[in-house]
């Protein structure tokens, strides 16, 4: 089995074994016997498929893989922390690391991947800063993200968080990760861990020529999730055309549809590995998946696959958007399995018919201003920079700073009942000598649909490190 280096001291098998499926097997509350399930995974380790992907919410998966690793050694344990949105706390981060260490029966987690729910709330960055402290203390070997989009992966890295990987959906059905995400990974040397590569098994010979299944509990959770991707990509008939095209490539190469689907993603430049889901004790696909190392996709095969993918509708947006906005491409079609509510990023105070939001910077109190003020249906957001928690978010990169500022404005608006969609005017101040174009492009990316009136000026802003300042006015409809 091919291997890839994710970061110093952490080499993984390029086909990783995913254990979200354990939570599905435990659907209804009946936990798997961890000893039996761990034993069922021995053949994976024997075959060199010895890197396991888990999460805090994958049922007993962490416990099972911990038992396996304790017996076998040379097993890599990758897990995730997916806390509900809300303010970060040192206690919660420490408890999450403790719990994972305990369930994995280890004293150091090989890779801890963080899932950000909302960029409008800087709690996602605060949590990364806390996890970086645990990494520095040796309790985590490496930090990763999951379902993070390109803009925010870039932002976190430029802020100094030592991220080695981002786990995202990447398949013949969903090529979002091939765009800006792969460019950001290339620039920073970050690796992608791809999931959904087999669309829960739909991208395999078993489903070629079969009738469209309803999205209901007769499917695995994984199939329910990717049936929604099929709908977004143009429906079952067009998906069958994709399967047919992949089968023709597979016929010529003497391999399976699943092999071609995995090899296509493994060959993408930013991809370190594909995470293939396994159901311990159920059908094993080890033999078939081992064939991946024994063939290559030639130019004709690659051309045929690109053409087949181009015939589908692209999945809209960037990586992870399916967890942040409709249509939610999750097993349940919403976030009910994950989130109870999204708290307002900042508390609003009311007085004299005016609502105000402060974001906790020292200067809001000292200079006597609020981040945002709402009077009637209008919200005015003060000049906002990329300073947060004593740091400059985005480093010296004007585009990354601009994105954080827009997130901060979004958070202030949300706290007062508005959103970025309500903005009718922005004013952008760029520090003398700083290139204006990346700032304008970042503004363009975020406001492409909203298109507020805008002014962009050069200014001698008050801090050498804060390259950009933006103020905004919104009118609620
Ligand atoms: N970060 C995230 O948000 C996120 C989201 C989803 C998944 N993941 C990770 O990715 C892992 C994979 O999950 P997934 O939902 O994306 O599923 P997947 O890997 O696309 O599909 C897994 C299913 O494919 C089938 N399969 C595997 N190898 C095969 C082969 N060679 N030929 C035919 N069928 C084959 C098996 O189905 P049968 O068991 O029916 O045979 C298996 O259960 C998860 O366990 C998890 O670790 C992460």
Q: pTM value?
A: 0.97
Same domain, 281 and 378: no
| pLDDT classification of 413: cutoffs 50, 70, 90 | very high
Q: Of the residues 323, 340, 372, which one is the last residue of a structural domain?
A: 323
Write the CATH number for 426. Answer: 3.30.1330.40
How much is the mean pLDDT over the chain?
97
Q: Which residues contact 253 (CB under 8 A, 6 or more apart)?
A: 259, 260, 295, 297, 301
Write the CATH number for 179. Answer: 3.20.20.100
Q: Is residue 328 part of a domain?
A: no
**Which residue from 471, 467, 470 is spatially nearest to 158, judged by alpha carbons?**
467
Mutate to test the pocket of ligand 1, among 18, 114, 323 (most ligand atoms within 8 A of CB): 18
Q: Is residue 330 part of a domain?
A: no
Give the pLDDT mean for 246-257.
98
Ligand 1: residues within 6 Å at CB? 18-21, 53, 146-147, 167, 195-201, 204, 222, 256, 258, 275-277, 279, 282-283, 285, 288-289
| pLDDT classification of 337: cutoffs 50, 70, 90 | confident
Mutate to test the pocket of ligand 1, among 200, 271, 273 (most ligand atoms within 8 A of CB): 200
Q: How much distance in Å is there from the Cα of 201 to the middle of ligand 1?
A: 6
Same domain, 205 and 312: yes
Domains contained in the chain, number: 2
Residue nearest to atom 15 of ligand 1 (CA): 222
Q: Which domain holds residue 218?
A: 3-323
Summarised one tens digit per residue, pLDDT across range 166-179 is 999 999 999 999 99
| pLDDT classification of 409: cutoffs 50, 70, 90 | very high
Does 281 score more than 90 pLDDT? yes
Q: Is residue 149 part of a domain?
A: yes
Does 367 score more than 90 pLDDT? yes
Same domain, 30 and 75: yes
Beta bridge partners of 112: 79, 143
Q: Is residue 341 part of a domain?
A: no
Same domain, 317 and 352: no
Same domain, 175 and 293: yes
- The DSSP-derived string for 287-333 is HHHHGGGG----HHHHHHHHHHHHTSPPPPSSTTGGGTSSS--SSSS
Does 340 score more than 90 pLDDT? no
Q: Which residues contact 333 (CB under 8 A, 6 or more apart)?
A: 215, 228, 327
Q: Is residue 436 part of a domain?
A: yes
For residues 99 and 109, what is the distance between their CA atoms, to the nearest angstrom?
Answer: 11
Amino acid 374: pLDDT: 98
Q: Is residue 197 part of a domain?
A: yes
Summarised one tens digit per residue, pLDDT across range 285-335 is 999 999 999 999 999 999 999 999 999 999 999 999 999 999 999 999 999
Residue nearest to atom 41 of ligand 1 (CA): 283
Mutate to test the pocket of ligand 1, among 112, 168, 222 (most ligand atoms within 8 A of CB): 222
Give the pLDDT mean for 170-195.
98
Same domain, 294 and 386: no
**Residues 377, 380, 382: CA angle, nearest 5 degrees:** 165
Same domain, 313 and 372: no
Q: Of the residues 265, 290, 323, which one is the last residue of a structural domain?
A: 323
Same domain, 359 and 217: no
Same domain, 211 and 302: yes
Residue nearest to atom 14 of ligand 1 (CA): 196
Summarised one tens digit per residue, pLDDT across range 119-165 is 999 999 999 999 999 999 999 999 999 999 999 999 999 999 999 99
Same domain, 194 and 270: yes
Amino acid 399: pLDDT: 98
Amino acid 278: pLDDT: 98
Same domain, 83 and 229: yes
Q: Is residue 424 part of a domain?
A: yes
Amino acid 477: pLDDT: 82
Residue nearest to atom 12 of ligand 1 (CA): 277
Q: Is residue 247 part of a domain?
A: yes
Same domain, 280 and 392: no
Give the pLDDT mean for 35-41.
97
**Which residue from 308, 177, 197, 307 is spatially nearest to 243, judged by alpha carbons?**
308
Q: Work out the percent of the chain whose per-residue pLDDT is above 70.
A: 100
Mutate to test the pocket of ligand 1, among 149, 202, 285 (most ligand atoms within 8 A of CB): 285
């Amino acid at each position: 089995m091919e291997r890839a280096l994710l970061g110093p001291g952490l080499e993984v098998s390029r086909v990783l074994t995913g254990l979200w499926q354990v939570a599905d097997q435990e659907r209804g509350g009946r936990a798997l016997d961890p000893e039996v399930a761990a034993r069922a995974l021995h053949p994976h380790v024997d075959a060199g498929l010895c890197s396991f992907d888990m999460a805090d919410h994958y049922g007993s998966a962490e416990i099972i893989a911990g038992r396996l690793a304790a017996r076998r050694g040379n097993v890599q344990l990758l897990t995730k922390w997916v806390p509900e949105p809300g303010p970060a706390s040192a206690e919660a981060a420490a408890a999450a690391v403790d719990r994972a260490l305990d369930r994995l029966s280890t004293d150091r987690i090989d890779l801890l991947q963080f899932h950000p729910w909302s960029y409008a709330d800087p709690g996602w960055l605060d949590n990364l800063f806390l996890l970086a402290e645990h990494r520095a203390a040796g309790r985590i070997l490496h930090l990763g993200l999951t379902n993070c989009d390109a803009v925010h992966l870039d932002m976190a890295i430029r802020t100094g968080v030592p991220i080695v990987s981002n786990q995202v959906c990447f398949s013949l059905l969903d090529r979002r990760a091939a765009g800006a995400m792969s460019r950001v990974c290339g620039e920073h040397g970050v690796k992608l861990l791809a999931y959904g590569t087999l669309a829960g098994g739909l991208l395999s010979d078993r489903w070629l020529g079969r009738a469209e299944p309803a999205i209901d509990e007769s499917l695995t959770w994984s199939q329910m999730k990717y049936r929604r991707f099929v709908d977004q990509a143009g429906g079952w008939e067009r998906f069958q055309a994709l399967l047919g095209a992949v089968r023709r490539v597979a016929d010529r190469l003497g391999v399976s549809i699943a092999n071609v689907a995995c090899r296509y993603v493994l060959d993408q430049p930013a991809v370190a590995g594909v995470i293939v889901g396994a159901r311990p004790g159920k059908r094993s696909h080890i033999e078939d998946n081992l064939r991946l190392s024994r063939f290559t996709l030639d130019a004709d095969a690659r051309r045929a696959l690109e053409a087949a993918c181009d015939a589908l509708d692209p999945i809209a947006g960037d990586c992870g958007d399916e967890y942040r906005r409709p249509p939610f491409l999750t097993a349940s079609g919403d976030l009910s399995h994950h989130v109870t509510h999204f708290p307002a990023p900042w508390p609003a105070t009311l007085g004299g018919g005016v609502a105000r939001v402060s974001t906790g910077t020292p200067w809001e109190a000292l200079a006597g201003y609020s981040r945002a003020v709402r009077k009637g249906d209008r919200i005015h957001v003060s000049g906002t920079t990329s300073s947060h928690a004593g740091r400059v978010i985005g480093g010296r990169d004007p585009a990354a700073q601009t994105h954080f500022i827009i997130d901060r404005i979004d958070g202030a608006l949300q706290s007062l009942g508005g959103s970025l969609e309500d903005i009718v005017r922005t004013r952008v101040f760029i520090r003398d000598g700083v290139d204006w174009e990346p700032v304008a492009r970042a503004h363009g990316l975020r406001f492409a649909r909203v298109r507020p009136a805008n002014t962009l000026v050069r200014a001698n802003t008050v801090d050498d490190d804060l390259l950009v300042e933006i103020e905004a006015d919104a009118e609620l409809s």
